């Protein structure tokens, strides 16, 4: 009785084939459940002990993308033992291709999103987060478009005409909006390369100011005079930009001149005097002080030191302290600063009548 029952056919398959398909599917479900419990359970305990966020992302993404794919693989394995008609086999292959592409692209997009956010959002920045979200949407559109074309091609749809039309349309749009696209690509260059950020003080050619806004077409500075300076992003990427906000220390060089009648003993004291003044000020690193040359109307001393900060106000405060201290010491020692002077020698001529 049982052999006859098992040999009963329905839709070109025996009852035993259906039982085998169900058995394989249920076995796959059981194996997946055991795998989830063991692997994800132990992995979850392990990632809690690490400081990195990458393992947390990887575990979460695998749970979201891999497990549904394994469930479909168990279902596919069950159907694989059945004799399906051509339409059923095609539907199964199509569904398999669609699901495989969907979860593969989804995993790659998750990885791309995590990588970009980890690199560009190291500090909380709402504007940067909004821009990155727009950029990720663009990546998703391109990725899903490519995935769709690959699927259509595998399903026998001729996409050469579609690709040709898209190519011609893309060239026409790019030609018509080349200035806008140039600024847009320059914006992404600024976004990814980060030569400057909001609140950085930069100098571009003869213009200088604090960055107020970085847009997809223009970047705006607030100058020292108060007016707003607007640059196209292409102008900025094609220019040399000096970013003073990222200056770690400032090198300062200045000269002072004393009169030619200053005694040699005092000339020897001046470098030591200036060295002591600068070394006594916190936030500086002394480099050198030398009697450097004979000037047109003064004996010139050159001084070089570093301010251990890029802050301009701090530099100005330190330079003021140095100048006042030099003036005080020179006054106390009777050393005179040189002023622009000229000596005229006049010769009298005797005229005999």
Q: Which of 93, 115, 111, 114 is nearest to 103 (CA)?
A: 111
Distances in Å between the alpha carbon of 336 and those of 261, 262, 271, 275, 327? 9, 8, 15, 19, 9
Q: Which of 123, 124, 29 is nearest to 70 (CA)?
A: 29
Enumerate domains of the chain plus CATH numbers: 2-167 (no CATH), 187-246 (2.30.30.60), 250-333 (3.30.70.100)
**pLDDT given for residue 13 in this prediction:** 67
Which residues have C-beta within 8 Å of that of residue 172, sequence separation ≥ 6? none
Q: Do the Cβ atoms of 289 and 301 come closer than 8 Å?
A: yes
**pLDDT given for residue 170 in this prediction:** 62
Backbone φ and ψ of 327, nearest 5°: -60, -40
Tokens 């909004």 belong to residue: 130
Q: Do the Cβ atoms of 330 and 337 come closer than 8 Å?
A: yes
H or E element that contains 217: none
Question: What are 49's two structure tokens?
Answer: 């002990």
The whole-angstrom separation of Cα 179 and Cα 173 is: 11
Backbone φ and ψ of 249, nearest 5°: -150, 155
The whole-angstrom separation of Cα 73 and Cα 67 is: 10
Per-residue pLDDT tens over the stretch 149-188: 777 776 666 766 666 666 666 666 555 556 667 777 888 7
H or E element that contains 172: helix 160-176
Rounded to 5 degrees, what angle do the CA atoms 254, 332, 280 make?
A: 50
Q: Give pLDDT tens digits along the chain (353 positions).
A: 556 555 656 666 677 777 777 888 888 888 888 888 888 777 777 777 777 777 777 778 888 888 888 888 888 887 777 777 777 777 777 787 788 888 888 888 888 887 777 766 655 555 566 667 777 777 788 777 777 777 777 666 676 666 666 666 666 655 555 666 777 788 878 877 888 888 889 999 889 999 998 887 889 999 988 999 999 988 888 889 999 888 889 999 999 999 999 999 999 999 999 999 999 999 999 999 999 999 988 999 999 999 998 888 899 999 999 999 999 999 999 999 998 776 666 766 655 54
**pLDDT given for residue 353 in this prediction:** 46
The whole-angstrom separation of Cα 20 and Cα 14 is: 10
The whole-angstrom separation of Cα 169 and Cα 165 is: 6
Q: Which of 79, 86, 95, 103 is nearest to 154 (CA)?
A: 95
The whole-angstrom separation of Cα 197 and Cα 190 is: 9
Q: Do the Cβ atoms of 196 and 211 come closer than 8 Å?
A: yes
Q: Do the Cβ atoms of 166 and 142 come closer than 8 Å?
A: no
N- to C-terminal Cα separation, the chain: 164
The whole-angstrom separation of Cα 291 and Cα 260 is: 13
**pLDDT given for residue 6 in this prediction:** 55
**pLDDT given for residue 146 in this prediction:** 77
Q: Do the Cβ atoms of 198 and 127 come closer than 8 Å?
A: yes
The count of other CB atoms within 10 Å of the CB of residue 201 is 20
Tell me the residue length of the chain. Answer: 353
- 70-80 burial, b if ≥16 CB within 10 A, otherwise e? beeebbbebbe
Q: Which of 120, 112, 161, 163 is nearest to 138 (CA)?
A: 112
């Amino acid at each position: 009785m049982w052999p006859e029952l098992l040999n009963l056919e329905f839709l070109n398959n025996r009852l035993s084939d259906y039982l085998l398909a169900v058995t394989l599917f249920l076995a796959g479900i059981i194996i997946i459940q055991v795998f989830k419990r063991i692997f994800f359970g132990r992995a979850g305990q392990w990632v809690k002990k690490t400081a990195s966020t990458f393992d947390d992302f990887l575990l979460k993404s695998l749970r979201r993308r891999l497990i549904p794919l394994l469930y479909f693989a168990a279902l596919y394995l069950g159907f694989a033992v059945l004799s399906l008609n051509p339409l059923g086999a095609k539907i199964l292959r199509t569904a398999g291709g669609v699901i495989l592409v969907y979860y593969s692209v989804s995993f790659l997009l998750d990885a791309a999103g995590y990588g970009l956010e980890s690199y560009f959002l190291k500090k909380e920045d709402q504007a940067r987060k909004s821009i990155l979200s727009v950029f990720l949407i663009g990546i998703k559109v391109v990725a899903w478009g490519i995935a769709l074309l690959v699927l259509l091609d595998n399903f026998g749809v001729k996409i050469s005409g579609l690709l040709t039309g898209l190519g011609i349309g893309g060239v026409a749009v790019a030609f018509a909006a080349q200035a806008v696209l140039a600024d847009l690509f320059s914006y992404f260059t600024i976004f990814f390369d980060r030569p400057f950020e909001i609140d950085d003080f930069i100098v571009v050619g003869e213009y200088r100011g604090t960055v107020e806004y970085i847009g997809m077409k223009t970047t705006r500075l607030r100058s020292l005079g108060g007016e707003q300076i607007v640059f196209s992003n292409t102008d900025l990427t094609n220019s040399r930009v000096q970013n003073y906000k990222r200056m770690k220390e400032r090198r300062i060089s200045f000269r002072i001149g004393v009169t030619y009648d200053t005694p040699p003993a005092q000339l020897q004291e001046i470098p030591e005097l200036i060295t002591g003044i600068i070394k006594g000020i916190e936030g500086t690193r002394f480099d050198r002080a030398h009697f450097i040359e004979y000037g047109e109307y003064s004996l010139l001393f050159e001084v070089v030191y570093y301010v251990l900060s890029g802050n301009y106000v701090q530099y100005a405060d330190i330079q003021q302290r140095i100048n006042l201290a030099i003036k005080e010491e020179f006054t106390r020692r009777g050393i005179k600063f040189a002023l622009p002077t000229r000596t005229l020698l006049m010769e009298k001529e005797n005229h005999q009548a």
